[in-house]
Amino acid sequence: MNVGCIPKKLMHHVAKMGELRHQQKTAGWGVDLDTAFAWDTMVSEVQMYIKSLNFGYRSSLMKKGVTYFNKLGKVTGPNTVQLKDAKGNVTEVKAKKVVLAVGGRPMVPSNIDPSLVLTSDDIFAMRKPPGKTLVVGASYVALECAGFLKGCGYDTTVMVRSILLRGFDQQMANLVGKYMKETTKIKFIESATVDSIEATPEGRKKVNYRFSSGESGCEEYDTVLYATGREIDTDNLLSGSLGVQFNPKNKKIITDEKEQSNLDWLYALGDCA
């Protein structure tokens, strides 16, 4: 919620306001379209709203008598969870039942220096305006981010390896792509993948990419945003000696119809299941 649904919805709302300014002028409202968009103001307000939501969640937990630990958990043994705080201090709690309800982490390919790119987790808290941006990926997260970046006035390009919105109805996916290209004027580099990214002396990112035809291309961007999917961090959430059964393809926990793993005390909900 902190790095997905909530800030994304708010930033789309902001982008829509920007689009409406142009319509207001043709409708008779005296709108100054030369006023520069204040990215940092938007990010500050979005982050303050998220903090207020988190405060509300914590208050609700306290009212319901739920003990809350702001710590990183790892299941280290039967009915046992190890908790580590920001300073590295470790404690341990025991429970009759343990439920894992964690989301995924954005993936960045191993051949790409992560210091040169952002992920969809980063963009919502980035204080510096993104400028000319390349969005790598064609997932719904990628297209949503590209949409609000373009709506906020930034030169935005989407790099697509094969098809838009894999796993979605393709007639609908193609309509989304057509709208983005023709109406919002978002640029697309299709049937291409990134070979490498280099930092330039001016602080930009030089992206070298290759088309499926074998031809290559190169362009510089201020920001490169990776939205090529998420992976589940079960390696760091569960001790390997527990014997939890995973899907070997994506490391998600295999559960039955009651969300229970192969261990009678361990359950999984959401993206990790």
- CA 169 from chain centre, in angstroms, equals 22
What whole-number percentage of the chain has pLDDT above 70?
Answer: 100
Please provide residue 207's backbone torsions phi and psi, each rounded to the nearest 5 degrees: -105, 120
Same domain, 111 and 99: no
Same domain, 148 and 224: yes
Please provide residue 148's backbone torsions phi and psi, each rounded to the nearest 5 degrees: -75, -25
Same domain, 127 and 191: yes
Q: How confident is the model at residue 25 (pLDDT cuts 50, 70, 90)?
A: confident
Same domain, 209 and 255: no
- For tokens 């190169």, what's the residue? 218
Q: What is the pLDDT of residues 118-166, one digit of tens each?
A: 998 999 999 999 999 999 999 999 999 999 999 999 999 999 999 999 9
Cα gap 49→260, rounded to integer Å: 35
Q: Is residue 240 part of a domain?
A: yes
pLDDT higher than 80, residue 32:
no
Q: Residue 188: which domain range?
A: 106-229
Q: How confident is the model at residue 104 (pLDDT cuts 50, 70, 90)?
A: confident
Q: Is residue 66 part of a domain?
A: no
Same domain, 210 and 244: no
Q: Identify which of 26, 27, 8 has the alpha carbon closest to the alpha carbon of residue 16.
A: 8
- What pLDDT shows up at residue 118? 97
Same domain, 158 and 270: no
Looking at residue 136, which CATH number applies to its domain? 3.50.50.60
Q: Is residue 247 part of a domain?
A: yes
Q: How confident is the model at residue 31 (pLDDT cuts 50, 70, 90)?
A: confident
Q: Is residue 212 part of a domain?
A: yes
Q: What is the pLDDT of residues 208-228, one digit of tens each?
A: 999 999 999 999 999 999 999
Same domain, 214 and 249: no
Give the total number of structural domains in the chain. 2
Same domain, 176 and 209: yes
- What pLDDT shows up at residue 29? 82
Same domain, 98 and 117: no
- Note whether 140 and 168 are within 8 A (CB): yes
Pick from 17-21, 159-163, 228-232 the range whose average pLDDT is largest: 159-163
Q: Can you tell me the mean pLDDT for 31-47? A: 89
- What pLDDT shows up at residue 44? 97
User: Of 211, 229, 247, which residue sits at a domain end?
Assistant: 229
Q: Is residue 60 part of a domain?
A: no
> What is the DSSP annotation of 10-34?
HHHHHHHHHHHHHHHHHTT----TT
pLDDT higher than 80, residue 259:
yes
Q: Can you tell me the mean pLDDT for 20-46? A: 86
Q: Is residue 261 part of a domain?
A: yes
pLDDT, mean over the chain = 95
Q: How confident is the model at residue 21 (pLDDT cuts 50, 70, 90)?
A: confident
Same domain, 253 and 215: no
pLDDT higher than 90, residue 83:
yes
pLDDT higher than 90, residue 28:
no
Q: Is residue 14 part of a domain?
A: no
- Note whether 209 and 216 are within 8 A (CB): yes
Same domain, 115 and 205: yes
- What pLDDT shows up at residue 235? 86
- Note whether 6 and 50 are within 8 A (CB): yes
Which of 43-57, 153-167, 228-242, 243-257 is the least confident region? 228-242
pLDDT higher than 90, residue 108:
yes
Q: Is residue 251 part of a domain?
A: yes
Same domain, 150 and 237: no
